[in-house]
Amino acid sequence: MHLTYGTKMPMRLLDEVEFWKRQENEHTVVIATLSPDLEPQFKEALKHWGEAFAQVDGLATRYLETIVRSGDHVSEYNRKCVIHLVDFALHQSQHFIQFLHVLKSTSKAPSLNNPVVVTVLDHIRRESEYFIGASEGVLHKK
């Protein structure tokens, strides 16, 4: 994510949150589809993760709509809300990565022995790590 967006940065951040939370939500579906033999607790956890990602995505959309309706003017309050949401989304992704680690290390599902599934899980983890890195970079510039 480029840091050259100036006054449009809050909108750019919200675009990123929307995109990555949709990605992570879709990733929960991919994992469940590729590993239909997962234990019930992991299936349930994936469902909850998907719902949580959708909620954050929805909140980012609402903030974007608020900013657009205000003529792209970002009040100090809204700027702080955006920064807080990005920080929350970043931590949510960190916890999702921890969940993926637990899933890979403790599930006895035969599908997790499939090299394709392992590769997909690693790819999903790396994508969430990318979002974290980009978000941290922006948050530490603020």
What string of DSSP letters covers 72-120? T---HHHHHHHHHHHHHHHHHHHHHHHHHHHHHHH---GGGGSHHHHHH
Task: Summarize pLDDT for 96-117 with one digit per residue, the tens.
Answer: 999 999 999 999 999 999 999 9
- Is it the case that residue 70 has pLDDT exceeding 70? yes
CATH 2.40.180.10 fits 6-139, yes or no: no
Task: Summarize pLDDT for 14-55 with one digit per residue, the tens.
Answer: 999 999 999 999 999 999 999 999 999 999 999 999 999 999
In three-state secondary structure terms, 46 is helix
